[in-house]
Every structure is written in structure tokens, then in C-alpha cells.
Amino acid sequence: MMTINTNSELSQVPFVGVNQMVNLVNTLGIKPLLSGLIDYLEQDFKQWQGFDKSPRYAAHSPEGVIELMPTGNHDKFSFKYVNGHPKNTKQGLQTVTAFGVLSDVDTGYPLLISEMTLLTALRTAATSAMMAKYLAPKGASTMAMIGCGAQSEFQAIAFNHIIGIDTVRLYDVEPEAITKCQQNLKLYDIRVIACESAQQAVTGADIITTCTADKKNATILTSDMVKDAVYINAIGGDCPGKTELEDKLLMRANVFVEYEPQTRIEGDIQQLNSDSPITEMHQVITGEKQGRTSQDELIIFDGVGFAVEDYSALRFIYDLVKENNDIQTLDLLANPQDPRNLFGITV
């Protein structure tokens, strides 16, 4: 059993790289990992008031954004470094890459460093499915997926596993993205239908997921495209000036968010007045407020991703691997025999 509580071992920080994260997915399976992530997410959303919270720090450029997402409570602190560069795919690079750190609050020492490109995809899908537990109409069976990039398969699998979706209707402006998603979902018990337009994709859908990457003020869904009694999982918004939903659609719906100050900056509700009514999801998960109250409601989850979700994901992975004798470590921290004599290790 690995322990990390002695002075010598604290200089070696456990590290979960891409290969080990892939091994976790292959060994445990995506569905059990999603279920585990949801358990940790719900635990932390129920402790929402105990977290330090702020909108993420974002360094914007014409081609993308680099962000830091910190949060912590009395026990642990975490942060994630993540970028979003939609044009990267034209250079053979990913739109989003990330890594994160989980630390012990009492000592300030890092407990874990982890890749978070794959982990963010898993935690975003888990977050979407968790929110749908409270907000989606009962008996939902068909989901439209508008945007078939790196997130699409994870979203489809999560909604199939947690909500019971058995049909996914796909649309993307790039046909090869639809084909990619179709191929990747062949191993799962999900009926996949390729569509030629967003309007065709949403026809007959109980749930609509929008997950587009372009960094622009776009209107992927208009109000006249969407009937009542639908749940919209709008997760493509992640920066000022980037939207997916028409403002008229937002004004028709009951809107739920993660953390209002951040979503007002980055989400689709940046189009609305600052006093427009919204509900933070921790209030629903704790039972303070209701989620869906009627099958006839039009509900939107305006999800931009928040640091507490990354905290939950890192905490989950840490608990999975901390007793693993094969865990990689990084020689990251100076560890002089006399902690007051740092200079002594240089001579």
C-alpha cells in the first residue's frame, strides 16, 4: 500500500498521466467511472457553501483562451489549467487540453497531479448527466446532440447510462465529425441517427445537448425550433461572446446554472439582464429548491464548467489511485533534511 504521509515521501508527488488515465478507463469501464464521478459531484455540491468560489481566471486571445480554475475548502484545494482553442484541430492539435493539482490544505503540499484532458471530458459528461437527473423529463428516451466533437461520445454514454436515453440524433457542421461519433458509439447499446440539420436533429428529442466549439456569438437553437417539455443541456458556452441559444429561448425557459457569477460572464445567460431569474444547481441537489416540477416545463441547464467539478474529479481519482503501488510519482518538491536549510541542498 502506498503511503504519502512521511517527510521523505512527500517530496514524491503521485502523478496520473494519460496512459494511466486510459488504463483506468479500460480497466474500470466508462460507465462505472461516470457513476463514481457523479457520487463525488453530488457529495461536493451538497457541501457547496464550504467552498471558496470565484469566476475562473481567463487569458483571452483572438484564437482562444487559457484558464485557471481554483477552488478549495477546509480539507483540500485544487486547480485546473485548461485551454480552449477551436482552430487547433486544423493543425492536428486538440481544442481543449488540461491538467490539474489536488493539495492538502493543512500542509499546502500537493497530493496529486493529473492529466485532465480525458478527465475533464468524463467529469463534464458526469456533470451533465447528474443535472439531468433533476431536470430532464421522466421517461426521456431520445437526445439530440448538436456538435460531435471530443465531448459527444462521453455525453451520449452518460445519458444512456444514467438517464436511460436509447437514441441519439447527431448533427455537426462537419460531416466527418458525425461519422466519427457514429463509429465510436457502435460498441454501445445506443441507436444513432445522423441528421442533416440542427432542426432535423431536435425533431422528436426529449433532451437536446449543444456542445459546439466555435468561439463566437452563435445561435445554434432558436426558440421556434424547441417545443415545451424539453430539457436543453447547453454546455458549449465557456467564454464571453460565445453563445449557442437564442435569447428568446432562454426567456421562455426555467434556467439552471452551476455558479451564477461565472455563468453571467461566460454562459448563454450573458445575453440576459443581470436580474433575470436563474437557479444554482446546488440548491436543487440539497433540496432547497425544486428542479423539474412539471413534464410540460422547458428547462435549460446553462453549463460552463466550474472548479468544484474539477475538485470532485481530482478527489475521485486520488481516492482510486492512492493505494496503488504502481502509481507514478514526480520528484517535484525540495526535501532538505533540515526544512529550515533549503540552501543546504545546493552545496
Q: Catalytic residue positions? A: 238
Distance CA 301, CA 159 (A): 14
CB 347, CB 336: distance < 8 Å: no
128 HSE (CA, 13 A, CB side): 32
The dihedral sign for the CA sequence 154, 285, 205, 277 = negative
Closest CA to 312 of 34, 22, 13: 34
280 membership: H or E segment, kind and range: strand 279-280
Please give the grid coordinates belonging to residue 190: 445506443
* 90 Cβ contact partners less than 8 Å away, ≥ 6 residues apart: none
Distance CA 248, CA 272 (A): 10
Q: What is the DSSP string of 286-307?
A: TTSS-S---TT--EEEE----H
78 membership: H or E segment, kind and range: strand 76-84
Distance CA 67, CA 58 (A): 4
Closest CA to 70 of 307, 324, 320: 307
